[in-house]
Amino acid sequence: MSANRQRTRVSRGPLGDPTYRMLWAAQSGSAVGGWMQSVGAQWMLVHRPGAATWVSLVQAASLLPVMFVSLPAGVLADVMDRRRLLIGVQSAMTVLAALLTVLTAAGRTTPAVLIAFTFLLGCGQAVGNPAWQAIQPELVPRSRHLLPARSTAARG
């Protein structure tokens, strides 16, 4: 394959597909939102007595679901319609985030409430991640993949 043709093929890779590009941008925005929520939750607790413990609990509440929920969530992603699973999980996470926003604006967010919501949002992330990762290859036609498919003979 000529260098010019290879360059064109790379530039039209997965991000050349409008659907993939839109979902990739949405996923990137969601990741930034998750980071902002985590930092914001920690920031809300940093001036409280026992701040080191509270801040550590926020981080644990967001990451423990990944450790304990991801394996069963992977099985769930294999047996369910991934699209419906992702829509359901993202909808639930949106409702949780909106409720946390309302509680915070009303001054009703205690450390325990904040950690509980962080844990629930972490559960949503842990359930959604396996389904999202499983659909990635299906989003882009094989002709747009950057690496050529290996033949059966090449697999050994």
Q: What is the pLDDT of residue 11?
A: 58
- How does pLDDT run across 110-123, given as a tens digit for each residue? 999 999 999 999 99
pTM: 0.80
Distance (Å, whole) CA 96 – CA 93: 5
Distance (Å, whole) CA 115 – CA 62: 8
Proportion of the chain above pLDDT 70, given as a percent: 84
| pLDDT band with cut points at 50, 70 and 90 for residue 128 | very high
Distance (Å, whole) CA 132 – CA 22: 14
Q: What is the pLDDT of residue 6?
A: 52
Distance (Å, whole) CA 83 – CA 51: 40
Largest CA distance in the chain: 65
Q: What is the pLDDT of residue 14?
A: 79
- How does pLDDT run across 50-97, given as a tens digit for each residue? 999 999 999 999 999 999 999 999 999 999 999 999 999 999 999 999
**DSSP assignment letter at 60:** H
Q: What is the pLDDT of residue 119?
A: 97
* Closest CA relative to residue 112, chosen from 49, 62, 38, 57: 57
